[in-house]
Amino acid sequence: MTRRYKGRPSAKTVARDFPFVVEIAVPPGGLGKRLNAMHAFHNQRSIQVAHIRHRHEDDRDFTLWCFARRAIAEEFAAEFGGSLQRKDHREPR
């Protein structure tokens, strides 16, 4: 069973409502001020922040940011050096 904070949407809801996923590589020291800029990106456009778990591969961490509209996802990826991923971003069981 996956637990989540009260009031946060489930992974299933995020996958349905925010199908466009941008993957951002997390540098060894963390995102730092870039993370603040990513949240500001959402605030400036009055869009909800939706992201799912980080993933770890080959000693690297990635954070996944989810968007309702492809154009916004592409803009976010271009601004923060991420890559737009395929639609299926369900959390592992």
Domain of residue 25, CATH code: 3.30.70
Q: Which residues 6+ apart lie within 8 Å of 82 measured at CB?
A: 22, 23, 24, 25, 65, 76
How many structural domains are present in the chain? 1
Whether 3 is covered by a domain: the verdict is: no
Q: Is residue 1 part of a domain?
A: no
| Structural domain contains residue 4 | no
Question: Domain of 48?
Answer: 13-85
- Asked whether residue 2 carries a pLDDT value surpassing 60, the answer given is no
d(CA 20, CA 10): 16
Report the Cα–Cα distance between both ends of the chain, in Å, rounded: 8
Structure tokens, 47: 């869009």
- Using the predicted structure, report yes or no on whether residue 91 has a pLDDT greater than 50: no
In a domain, 7, yes or no: no
8 within a domain of the structure (yes/no): no
* Residue 19 or 87, more confident: 19
Q: What's the pLDDT score for residue 48? A: 83
Question: What are the pLDDT digits (tens) for 15-70?
Answer: 777 889 999 999 999 999 999 999 999 999 999 888 766 778 888 899 999 899 99
Question: What pLDDT is attached to residue 92?
Answer: 43
Query: Model pTM?
Result: 0.77
Domain assignment of residue 72, yes or no: yes
What is residue 93's predicted lDDT score, i.e. its pLDDT? 38
